[in-house]
C-alpha cells in the first residue's frame, strides 16, 4: 500500500488538480526529500522546504521574476550557487483563481522541455 502524502503535499495536489482539471491528473512523486508534481509524465512543479515551486523556461522566466517570485537556488557541495528552473509561489498566490494561470505556464514550460532518455 502506498504511503500517505503529508498533509501540505496532499493539499497542494488537490489545489493543482483544481487548476488543471481540464488537462489530466496531477501525480506526486517523492524526490529530494520533497515531491515532484507531474502531468502526462512531465514534471511541472515541486514541493520542497514547505513551499510550492513551479517550472519556468526561457519563455516564462521573466514573467515569474517580474511578479516578484523567487528562484529555487542552492549552494552545492563545491560552494557554487546553482539556480534551478523553478520559482517559489508565495502563499498569497495559492488560490485556484490566482494560481491557475501560473500552473498553466509551468505545464507549458514542462511540455516544451526535452524528454530525458532513460539509460539502460
> Domains of the chain by range and CATH?
7-112 (3.30.1460.30)
**What are the pLDDT digits (tens) for 42-70?**
999 998 888 899 999 999 999 999 999 99
Decide if pLDDT at 3 tops 80.
no
| Most distant CA pair in the chain, distance | 44
Q: What is the pTM of this model?
A: 0.84
Helix (H, G, I), strand (E, B) or coil at 16: helix
Length of the chain: 120
Asked if 99 and 93 touch (Cβ cutoff 8 Å), the reply is yes
Closest by CA position to 53, among listed 4, 1, 105? 105
CA 8 to chain centroid = 14
| Nearest-angstrom CA–CA distance, 95 and 32 | 26
Mean pLDDT of the chain: 87
pLDDT band at 107 (very low <50, low <70, confident <90, very high): very high
Amino acid at each position: 500500500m502506498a504511503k500517505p502524502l503529508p498533509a501540505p503535499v496532499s493539499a497542494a495536489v488537490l489545489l493543482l488538480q483544481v487548476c488543471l482539471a481540464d488537462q489530466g491528473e496531477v501525480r506526486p512523486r517523492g524526490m529530494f526529500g520533497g515531491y515532484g508534481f507531474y502531468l502526462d509524465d512531465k514534471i511541472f512543479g515541486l514541493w520542497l522546504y514547505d513551499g510550492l515551486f513551479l517550472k519556468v523556461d526561457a519563455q516564462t522566466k521573466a514573467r515569474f521574476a517580474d511578479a516578484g517570485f523567487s528562484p529555487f537556488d542552492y549552494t552545492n557541495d563545491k560552494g557554487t550557487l546553482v539556480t534551478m528552473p523553478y520559482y517559489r509561489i508565495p502563499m498569497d498566490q495559492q488560490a485556484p483563481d490566482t494560481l491557475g494561470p501560473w500552473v498553466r505556464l509551468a505545464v507549458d514550460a514542462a511540455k516544451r522541455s526535452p524528454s530525458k532518455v532513460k539509460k539502460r
